[in-house]
Structure 1
Amino acid sequence: MDHLRYFVIREGGRRLHNPLTSDQLAALGRTLRLEKGARVLDLASGSGELLCTWARDHGITGTGVDICPEFTDRADARALELGVDGLVRFVHGDASDYVADEPVDLACCLGASWIGGGAAGTAELLRRSLRPGGTVLLGEPFWRREPPDQRAVEACHAYDADGFPTLPELLAYFGELDYDVVGMTIADQQGWDRYKSAQWLSMRRHVTRHPDDGLAGLLRAELAAEPAEYARYEREYLGWGVFALMAR
């Protein structure tokens, strides 16, 4: 399967590729007390909403890196739409070994810590681009409630019950990595509902418009089963949040 194309289809026209709402993203920018001219690096930047809106609202400058050319194109278009194309730029490339040319004030990876082999590796990757005293921003999953069985674990895309920590365990883990947690924004169930249902709409529109697509059968099967599976498992057990960290 072409996993990248599959992901693009599911995400459709969404600007945020995670369960945060646009209001939460804006509030996060205010919480971080971003200053005009602050330099931001966003690895696996998706459609560029974080950099573009924070450039508009706070005057930050920044670079986003993403392996998906369609998302990079969307990010460029969004920057033009918001009039911040002179402040931010987007690079099509592999974020897993990207280091900024100059130290940045804030280094982000929201929901793609596979680029560093997990939270610890991704935090270290981001730290390579960070100025002393700068902030790392990670988006990570956690268990809202302990999963009752292996079926729940698999439905939440974890390898086993230990695949995700609980929220207290995750916060403690950041401390073990020698970071102070200086902020967090947690996705709520309404944000999850909007995020997942937007994916279902994108999938449905794609199979309607492209019934002979090689992915159509898989997408139809997921449309038939996923809403109930989501309500039964992900909605109840899977949490996700963005965590601001500063090295001790």
Structure 2
Amino acid sequence: MDLPRSITIRESSHRILNPFTSDKLATLGAAIGLRKGASVLDLCCGKGEMLATWSRDHGIAGTGVDISTVFLAAARERAAELGVADRVTFVHGNAATHVAAEPVDVAACVGATWIGQGVAGTVALLERSLRPGGMMLIGEPFWRAEPPSQEAVEACRVRSRDDHNTLPGLIELFHGLGYDVVEMVLADEDSWDRYRAAQWLNVRTWLDANPGDDELAPEFRAELATEPLRYVRYERPLVGWGVFALMKR
């Protein structure tokens, strides 16, 4: 049980595996009023940057769950580097079935709602680990503008226009699920650039070290030739992303 090697190569230099900068992650932690000793569950935690930095900055304790052994190794290294390895734990497992042994103060799935087959299913999954009165964090993309064609939709990494909501549509969805939206921090074009453009250098660096003698080389060579244009033409202007803090009504 692990992620494809291609994903870990693309994101090899990333600490945050979403279009979020460290400043935005810090803003989110401050905005939701984290208190010392609060418990946080992070499903699909990636390299654990959220848990590790929030533990350093706010004194939280937490558990991260992810399928990637590569990302979890990086998460444990980061926690040790920041001196919080005694407060945050990283578990290799299927986040889609993980429920905390004890209810937590904050339950999060930031950028991976496929684990619940969409937002509604992920909210239902996180509810199983959240204490009454706790806070839920959902990271999710949305349409910033209406895609002009099916070609544009597919260039934004989805098959249907309905695979993303609009920002107002997301707020309405959360409300319909019985939650108040109490905070949000949204990505901008710069944070998108830091996420996507950094992948191009990671791919090029890997290609330079593996000149045609690896099965991924042709795929990565083709990707590097097309990805920058696809991104600036379609994804950058059309897709937004944000983390939404929810509390049950």
Given residue 215 of structure 2, which amino acid in structure 1 is its aligned partner?
Answer: G
4+ aligned runs moved over 6 Å, structure 1: none
Partner of 1:88: 88
What displacement does 1:145 show? 0.0
Q: Deviations along 1:80-111, whole A, 9 cap, x unmatched?
A: 00000010010011111000011100001111
Q: Contact 2:3/2:67 (CA < 8 Å) preserved in 1?
A: no
- How many correspondences in the alignment? 247
Give the alignment's TM-score, normalised by structure 1.
0.98
Q: Is the 8 A contact 2:65 2:92 kept in 1?
A: yes
- Asked if 2 retains the 8 angstrom alpha-carbon contact of 1:41 and 1:63, the reply is yes
Q: Is the 8 Å Cα contact of residues 110 and 137 (structure 2) preserved in structure 1?
A: yes
TM-score (norm 2): 0.97
| Aligned-residue offset at 1:3 | 5.7
Asked whether the 8 Å contact 1:24–1:185 carries over to 2, the reply is yes
How many Å separate the matches in 2 of 1:87 and 1:210? 39
Verify the 8 A CA contact 1:207 1:213 in the aligned structure 2.
Answer: no
Instruction: Tell me, in whole angstroms, the C-alpha distance in 2 between the residues paired with 1:67 and 1:103.
Output: 22
In structure 1, the partner of 2:246 is: 245
Residue 46 of structure 1 is matched in structure 2 by: 46
Structure 1: gaps (5+ residues): none
Q: Which runs of 5+ in 2 are unaligned?
A: none
The CA RMSD measured in Å over matched residues stands at 0.9
Listed as ranges, the matches of 1:1-248 within 5 Å are 4-211=4-211, 212-248=213-249
Percent of aligned positions that are identical? 59
Task: State the shift of 1:39 in Å.
Answer: 0.2
Counterpart residue identity of residue 108, structure 1: A
Deviations 1:128-171 (A, max 9, x none): 00000001101001000000001100011121112111100111
Q: Specify the code of the residue in structure 2 equivalent to 1:88.
A: V
C-alpha distance in structure 1 between counterparts of 2:218 and 2:248, whole Å: 47
What CA deviation, in whole Å up to 9, does each residue of 1:6-64 have, x standing for no partner? 11011012100001110000010000100000000000000000000000000000000
Counterpart amino acid of 2:43?
A: L
Single out whichever of 80-89 and 4-13 deviates more from structure 2: 4-13
* Matched letter for residue 153 of structure 2: V
